[in-house]
Structure 1
Amino acid sequence: MTTSVTSATTVQRSPLRSWQFRRVVAAEFISSVGTQMTTLALPWFVLTTSGSPARMGLVFVIQILPVPLLGMPAGLLVARWGARRVTIVGDLVDTVLTASVPTLYLAGALPFWALLTVVALVGCVASGYLSAQRMLLTETIGSDEGAVTAGNAMFETATSSARLVGPAIAGFLIAGAGPLNVLWADAASFAVSAALLTGLPRHERTPEPLSANRMAEGVRYLLRDRVLRTMALAALGYGTLMPVVLLALPVMARSRYDANPHVAGWLLAAWGGGTALGTVVVARLARRIPPTRFAAYGGVGAAIVLWLLPWHQPAATAGLTVAAACMFLPAVTAPAAALLMLRPPEHLRPHVVPVFGAAVFVASPIAYAVAGVLFEHLAVGTVLAAVAAGATLCALLLLNLARHPETTSPGGPVAAPPPVRATPPPGGP
C-alpha cells in the first residue's frame, strides 16, 4: 500500500519542483544578473575611457548584430550538439570572453578594435545560446503545455528579477571599485551557471548532420502552422512596440514631470516590477488556461492599459499604468514560447526557435532607432497613441486565434503534437 501511494505521489509531482528545473532557473538568474551588471558597466567603461557616446553606441550594435544574423545557422549547431552542451559551452566561452576585457585592459592591450572583437564574439555565442536555453528548459519540464507555459513564465521571472537586481548591484560596484571589477563579477556568474548546468542529466538524441535543408524546413514549418505563425507575428509586434514605450519613459519624465530624475527612475522600476509580477501570475494560472486563450487575454489587457498611457496624469498613476501594461505581456510571451517549443516535431525545434528569436532581435534595435526619430518630431502622447493602436491590432490577432485555434493550412493538416493537459498537483506548480 505504501509503495502504491509513493508511486502515485511521484506521478503527480510537478516537474516545476524538480531539482533539474530549479537548476536551470537558478543558472538563468545568476548569469542574467551578471549580464545586466555588464550592460551598465561596459558602456560606462567605454564612455569614461574614450569620452565618446558614439563608441558606446557602437558597442551595443556590434553585440546585438550577430544574434539575428547567426541565429538560424546556430540552430544547426544546437541540433547537432544538443541544448545542454551548447548552453554549458556558451557559459564557459562567455566566462573567458568577459574576463578577457579587464585582463587585456590591465595589460595595456585593449585597443577599441579588440574590445569590439570581444563584444562581437559574445554576440556570436548568444546567437545559439538563447535558443538552446529554451530547449533545455523544455527538456527538464516535459511536454505538458501547461507546465511548459508556467515554466517559461518562471524563467522570465528570473530574467526580469535580474533586470531589477543587476543594475543596482552594478551601480554600487562601479562607485566603489570601478567598472572593470563588475566585468569580473559577470565572468564569475557565467562560470557558476555552467557549474549548475553540468549536473543536469543528458538528453539522449541522435546527432543531426549540419544541413541547411533542416533550417529551411524549420522556416517552412513556422510559416505553415497557423498557430505558430500568428503567435510569432503578435510577438514580433510587441517586440517592436514595447521598446518604443521603454524609450518613452525618460521622455515623459522630461516633458511632463519637469525633468525629474526620480520620476524617470519610478517609471523604469514600474516597468520591471510589472513584468516580474506578471510572470508570477502566469506561472500560477498557466495550467488552467489554454495557451492561445491566455495570450488573447494578455493581449487585450495590455492594449486597454496602453490606451491610458498617452493621457497626461500624475506621475504615480503613470507608473501604475506602465506596471499594469507590463504585467499583461508575460501572458503573451510565455504561451508563445511554450507553443514554439511544443508544436514542432522534436527534430525541427532547434530550427524553428531561432527564426522567431532572430525576428524579435531585428525588431528591437530598429524600434529604438525609429522611436528616437519620432520623439524628436512628435509629441510623446502622439507616439504612445500609435503604440496603443498597434497593440490593439496584435490583440485582435490573438483573439481571432483563440476563437479558431485549428492547426490546418491550405496545404492540409500540419503535423503538430496534440496538446496534453495534465492534472495539476495540489497547491499549483
Structure 2
Amino acid sequence: MTTAPPRRSPLRSWQFRRVITAEFISSVGTQMTTLALPWFVLTTSGSPARMGLVFVIQILPVPLLSMPAGLLVARWGARRVTIVGDVVNAVLLAAVPTLYLADMLPFWALLVIVALVGSVASAYLSAQRMLLAEAIGPDEGAVTAGNALFETATSSARLVGPAVAGFLIAQFGALNVLWIDAATFALSAALMTGLPRRETVPEKLSANNMAEGVRYLLRDPVLRTMSLAALGYGTLMPVVLLALPVMAKARYGEDPHVAGLLLAAWGGGTAVGTVAVARLARRISPTRFAAYGGVGAAVMLWLLPWDQPAATVAVVVAASCMFLPAVTAPAVALLTLRPPEHLRPHVLPVFGAAVFLASPLAYAVAGVLFEHLAVSTVLVAVAVGATLCALVLLNLAGRKAEAA
C-alpha cells in the first residue's frame, strides 16, 4: 500500500513566482516614477498646480475605463493584456525623456502621455489579479494567500521605490529615473512572456456583458457585502493617512521626524499584515478572515483619536494597517473566483473602479474636514465607520457559518 505524495502548494509554483516577481519589479519602477515625474514637472515648470494636474490626469482614466477595460481582458485574456500593458507602459515612459531631450515635449503632450498611462492601468490592474488566480488555481484559500503576497510585493515596492528614486534623482536627475521605470516594465513583460498560454474563447465586446457583471456583483449577497465593507475601509483609511502629518503638526510640535515615523509605521504594518494573511489564509475561510481583520482594524482605530506619545501612535497605526490585508485579500479572492468564469473579467473591475473613485474623494473630503474640525473628532468618525464595516462582516461570517 503506497501513500500519495503531498500536493505541492500552488504558491510554490514557478508561474506564481514569476507573476509576483514581475509585480514587484514593475511596482518599484512605478513608485520611483511617482516621485520622479512630479519632481520633473515641478523643477521644469515651477508650478505646483501643474504637478497636481499630472496626478489627476493619470488617475482619472482608471475609474472611468475600468469597466469597459474588463471587456478587453475577457476577449484577450489576462496574460496578453498584462504583457501588452507592460510594453505600452515601457514605450510611454521612455517617450517622456526622449521627447524632452529633443525639445518636443510641451505640457499638453506630457498630459496626453500621462493619460495614456492611466488608461493602460485601467485594464492592467484587473488583468494582473486574474493572472494571479490563473497561476494559483481555483482554491479560495490559496488565492487569498496569493493576493496577500501580491500586496506584500506592492507594499514593499512602496517602501523601496521612493527611497531609491530620491537617491537616483539626486545623482542622475529625474529624467533618467523614468528610463529605469521603462526598463522595469520591459523586464516584467519578459517574465510574463514565459508563462504558459491559456486558451480563452474570444468574447464579443459588448456592454451587455459589463452590465451583467455589475448585476451579478449587486445580486450576490457575499460579494456585495464583502465589496461594500472593503470599499468602506478603502474610503476611511485615506482619511487616516492624511491625518498623520496633521497630527505631527498639531500634537508633536511640527516635527517632521514624527511624520516620517508615522508614515513608516503605516507601510510596515501593511507589509507585516500581508505576510501574516499569506500564512493563514488556507486555514480560515475568506468571510471569517475578513471579519477578524475588520474587527481588529476597528478596535485599533478607536485607540487613535486620543492624545498619547508619538511612539504609541505609531504602534496603533501599524496595528490597524496590519489587520487591513485580512479584509482586502479575501475580498479580492472572492471577487476573482466566485463569479462564473465568463463574468470574472466584468466583476473585479467594478470594485476597482469604485476604489479608485473613493480614494481621491476621501482625500479631498478629509482635507476640508481637517480645515474645520479637530483631528481627534475626524478620527472618532473614522472609528465609528470602521466599526459599522466590521459589524457587516461579522454578520456575513455568521450567516455563512449557519449555512455550512
TM-score bucket of the superposed structures, by smaller chain: over 0.9
- Equivalent in the alignment of 2:111: 116
Aligned residue number for residue 87 of structure 2: 92
Partner Cα separation in structure 2 for residue 269 and residue 160 of structure 1: 11
User: Counterpart of 2:15?
Assistant: 20
Of 166, 180, 201, the residue aligned with 1:185 is 180
Any conservation in 2 of the 1:227–1:407 contact (CA below 8 Å)?
A: no
Look up the equivalent residue of 2:242 and give its one-letter code: L
Q: 2: CA distance between counterparts of 1:402 and 1:352? A: 22
Match of 2:165 in 1: 170
CA distance in 1, matches of 2:401, 2:338: 13
Aligned equivalents of 2:248, 2:227: Cα separation in 1: 32
Select 1:403's aligned residue among 395, 398, 401.
Answer: 398
CA distance in 2, matches of 1:28, 1:229: 28
Does residue 360 of structure 2 align to residue 365 of structure 1? Answer: yes
Q: Which runs of 5+ in 2 are unaligned?
A: none
**Could you say which residue in structure 1 is the equivalent of 2:259?**
264
Deviations 1:306-352 (A, max 9, x none): 01111111111111110000000000000001100111000000000
Where does residue 189 of structure 2 map in the other structure?
Answer: 194
How many angstroms does 1:407 deviate by?
A: 12
Distance (whole Å) between structure 1 residues aligned to residue 183 and residue 252 of structure 2: 40
* Equivalent pair of 1:135/1:341 in contact (CA under 8 Å): yes
Q: Once the 2 structures are TM-superposed, how far is the Cα of residue 115 of structure 1 from its aligned partner?
A: 0.6
1:32-181 matched pairs, under 5 angstroms: 32-181=27-176
1:405 alignment partner, SS class: helix
- Structure number with the higher helix fraction is 2
Quote the offset at 1:406 in angstroms. 8.3
Taking structure 1 as the reference length, the TM-score comes to 0.92
Per-residue deviation, residues 59-113 of structure 1 (Å, max 9, x unmatched): 1110011011000000000000000000000000000001111111111111110
Which 10-residue stretch deviates more, 29-38 or 204-213? 204-213
SS of the equivalent of 1:108 reads coil
**Where does residue 344 of structure 1 map in the other structure?**
339
Cα distance in 1 for residues equivalent to 2:401 and 2:354: 24
1:281, distance to aligned residue in structure 2 (A)? 0.4
Query: What residue identity is the alignment partner of 2:141?
Result: G
Structure 1 residues 172-181 or 275-284, which shifts more? 172-181
Measured in 2, the distance between the counterparts of 1:30 and 1:298 equals 28
Letter in 1 for 2:161: G
Q: Distance in 1 between matches of 2:279 and 2:238?
A: 27
From 266, 276, 280, give the equivalent of 2:275. 280
After the TM superposition, which residues 295-314 of structure 1 pair with which residues of structure 2 at under 5 Å, given as runs?
A: 295-314=290-309
User: Residue 282 of structure 2 aligns to a residue in which SS?
Assistant: coil
- Structure 1 position 405, deviation (Å): 2.4
Letter in 1 for 2:376: G
Bigger mean CA offset, 380-389 vs 90-99: 380-389
Whether the 8 Å CA contact 1:33–1:163 is kept in 2: the answer is yes
Structure-1 separation of matches of 2:159 and 2:113: 26
The CA distance in 1 between the partners of 2:273 and 2:49, in whole Å, is 36
Separation of aligned partners in 2, 1:253 and 1:42? 27
| CA distance in 1 between partners of 2:40 and 2:182 (Å) | 16
Give the distance between the partners of 1:94 and 1:205, measured in 2 at CA. Answer: 24
Paired with 2:311 and 2:73, the residues of 1 have a C-alpha distance of 46
Q: Which amino acid aligns with 2:167?
A: F
Q: Name the amino acid aligned to 1:158.
A: A
SS in 1 for 2:241: helix
Q: 1:250 aligns with which of 245, 249, 273?
A: 245
Partner AA of 2:381 in structure 1: A
**Residue in 2 aligned with 1:427?**
none
Q: Which amino acid counterpart does residue 223 of structure 2 have in structure 1? A: L
Q: Give structure 1 stretches of 5+ with no counterpart.
A: 409-418, 420-429
The question of whether the paired residues in 2 share the 8 Å contact of 1:40 and 1:170 is answered with yes
RMSD between aligned alpha carbons? 1.4
Q: Is the 8 A contact 1:225 1:407 kept in 2?
A: no
For residue 317 of structure 1, the aligned residue among 289, 312, 316 is 312
Instruction: Give a deviation string over 1:146-181, Cα, whole Å, max 9, x none.
Output: 101100000100000000000100110111111111
Q: Secondary structure at the match of 1:207?
A: coil
Q: Which moved more, 1:266-275 or 1:202-211?
A: 202-211
Deviations 1:184-204 (CA, angstroms, capped at 9, x unpaired): 111111011001110000111
Structure 2 counterpart SS, 1:333: helix
Alpha-carbon separation, structure 1, partners of 2:145 and 2:242: 29
For 2:52, what is the secondary structure of its paired residue? Answer: helix
Contact 1:226 1:407 in 2 (8 A): no
Q: Say which SS state the counterpart of residue 13 (structure 1) adopts.
A: coil
* AA aligned opposite 1:316: A
Letter in 2 for 1:196: L
Distance in 1 separating the partners of 2:260 and 2:401? 44
Match of 1:221 in 2: 216
Superposed structure 1 runs of 4+ greater than 2 Å apart: 405-408
Distance 2:400 2:216 in 1: 17
